Amino acid sequence: MNSTGNYELLIDKINVFIRKYYFNQFLRGLIFLGAGLFSAYVVITVSEYFGNFNTSFRTILFYFFIILNLGFIGWLILPPMLAWLKLGKSLSHDQAAEIIGRHFSDVQDKLLNTLQLKKQADADPQHGALIEASIDQKIEALKPVSFPSAINIRENSKYLKWVIFPAGLICIIALAAPSVLTESTKKLIRHNEYFAPVAPFNFMLQNNSLSVVQGDDLKLDLKLQGNKLPADVYVETGGNTFKLDKDNLTRFHFLFTNLQQNTVFTLTANGFTSAPYQIKVNLRPALLHFDVDLSYPAYLHKKNESLPNAGDLTIPAGTIVKWHFHTQNATALRFAMNDIPAPVASVGPDAFDYQEKVIKNSVYKLNPLNATVSHSDSASYRINVIADEPPTITVQEKQDSVSLKALYFDGTIQDDHGFSSLTFNYKVGDPMDKLHLKSYSKPVKADLAQTQSNFFYYWNLRDMGIKPGDQVTYYFEVADNDAVNGPKKSPVARKNY
């Protein structure tokens, strides 16, 4: 075999040694990692079990344990593992030769000198042949030596005691008192949660719910269960401590008043503290204010108007009322007119509109609501409706001084909003013979647009063709212009001729 082949075999033997060296370092790192992990776990869990640390200190221990083990992995595991896999920095051949030489004193100088001669041969080609011969001679002397045997993996067994002791201690605790490990581990994993110390009694809240509406009171009912019951119980909230009222040996109560926001509290007795409780305060829906738009019936010739902050109303019959409600913390609004509910439209956040035509005196109620509060304070208002009064008519009758069959009528009509008609009505014939009884209605001229108007009417009976034995019944009738309920008619008392 030529000198080049011999040197490559030598380098291969050194490379095998380097890989075994890092594999040995990797195994030793695993042992030290296990020793550190198990020891830290035993110390921390036992300390937590008997020390019952608060959340802040448990958080420190939790992250200390993680950082400690990550440090061990980064220091003892990753470097040798990466070097063993040829992914990271590893020993040079010269460094490996020094380590091998410390184990084989008879080859220390030969191995290192061989590597140095090879470098000289590569740097000085003129004397390369002579140097190569010297290298081959040294390599022949090194062939019997197994470099990897310089690493004794079994020597790591002497470090196993550092793993066996804490691991054995964990097994003993797990068999004798498993709660020491399980409870402490649970508390460390959930390090940001509060765990109350185990007390010889239990705090038993009797409230079905810890939820109230904003501004309301909440009576806290407490029952104690256990062998050793405390004489007094205290509630801690908002940095203040209050004593609960005692009903009997096991029952206590306390009144939270005028709750405005979510309230967290704990119960304490004889040095033991309960888990935190929270009173959920639901925002109270409120009606802030509302405005109304009034659209009056057209026949009234009254200008429509808007009224701010209007509750009770006095309006003409037939007025269309449109409410604009403004609320707080409300997602719905219950509207009931005369106890009849009606849907109210949402037109935006905390804004609602409703419209109705009002005919009669009414009472309407308002209840703002939201998803968590289905019953709130209600408000009631009255609507006083001004009814359209019936028209009135007065008539004076005069007989013609020349003809007995001619009559003159002077009259006055009155109404609050005007008239739709004024007529003179009469019937001619035998009242017993209704089949042949004839009826007539004649319009009478008057200013119907006014609320009061005078009129005059002349009636000539000779043009009617009255027969002997006939009876004439006549009267005036006026009708107003009520466009809501229909015209109301008022007749004058009937007269016979």
pLDDT given at position 280: 94
CATH topology match: 201-282 vs 286-386: yes
- Which CATH number applies to 392-496? 2.60.40
Q: How far lies 249's CA from each of 226, 246, 266, in Å?
A: 12, 8, 20
* CB atoms closer than 10 angstroms to residue 167: 18
Question: What is the Cα gyration radius of the chain?
Answer: 55
CA distance 237 to 263: 7
CA distance 203 to 208: 15
The encoded tokens of residue 243 equal 């004593």
373 phi/psi in degrees, rounded to 5: -125, 110
* CB atoms closer than 10 angstroms to residue 268: 17
H helices present in 104-232, as ranges: 108-123, 128-142, 161-176, 178-189
Contact criterion met (CB below 8 Å) for 415 and 344 = no
Q: Please tell me what DSSP assigns to residue 87.
A: S
Which residues, other chains included, contact 309 with Cβ-Cβ below 8 Å and sequence gap of 6+? Answer: 289, 290, 291
Q: Which residue has the tokens 């306390």?
A: 254
Contact criterion met (CB below 8 Å) for 430 and 437 = yes
Which residues are registered as beta bridge partners of 203? 224
Which residues, other chains included, contact 298 with Cβ-Cβ below 8 Å and sequence gap of 6+? Answer: 483
| Closest residue by Cα to residue 130 from 140, 139, 121 | 121
| Closest residue by Cα to residue 346 from 372, 363, 365, 368 | 368
| Closest residue by Cα to residue 366 from 399, 323, 403, 405 | 323
pTM equals 0.52
Distance of CA 254 to the CA centre of its chain: 29
The encoded tokens of residue 461 equal 């009976």
| Closest residue by Cα to residue 77 from 110, 125, 36 | 36
Q: Which residues in the chain come in under a pLDDT of 70?
A: 1-11, 14, 88, 92-150, 196-197, 403, 465, 469
pLDDT given at position 97: 66
CA distance 343 to 346: 10
Angle, alpha carbons 298-299-304 (nearest 5°): 35
Say what the alpha-carbon torsion angle 371, 372, 377, 381 is, to the nearest 10 degrees: 0
Collapsed DSSP state (helix, strand, coil) of residue 153: helix
Q: Is 102 left (phi over 0), alpha (psi -120 to 50) or beta?
A: alpha
Contact criterion met (CB below 8 Å) for 314 and 300 = no
Contact criterion met (CB below 8 Å) for 364 and 342 = no
Report which residue type is found at 390.
P
pLDDT given at position 1: 47
Collapsed DSSP state (helix, strand, coil) of residue 411: strand
Query: How would DSSP label each residue in 298-317?
Result: GGGT---EEETT--SEEEET
Contact criterion met (CB below 8 Å) for 444 and 453 = no
**Exposed (0-12), middle (13-18) or buried (19+): which is 421, by Cβ within 10 Å?**
middle
User: Considering the domain 201-282, what is its CATH architecture?
Assistant: Sandwich (2.60)
Per-residue pLDDT reduced to its tens digit, 81-114: 877 777 767 776 666 666 666 666 666 556 555 5
Report which residue type is found at 132.
E
Q: Which residues of 296-305 are buried (b: 16+ CB within 10 A; e: fewer)?
A: bbebbeeeee
Report which residue type is found at 84.
W
Contact criterion met (CB below 8 Å) for 33 and 80 = no
pLDDT given at position 17: 74
Which residues are registered as beta bridge partners of 479? 421, 489
Q: Please tell me what DSSP assigns to residue 20.
A: H
Which residues are registered as beta bridge partners of 72? none
Residue spans of the domains in the chain: they are: 3-189, 201-282, 286-386, 392-496
Q: How far lies 216's CA from each of 53, 240, 260, in Å?
A: 37, 20, 8
CA distance 233 to 205: 13
| Closest residue by Cα to residue 378 from 258, 287, 283, 284 | 287
Look at strands 351-358 and 218-226 and give their pairing: unpaired
Third-level CATH fold of 286-386: Immunoglobulin-like (2.60.40)
pLDDT given at position 185: 82
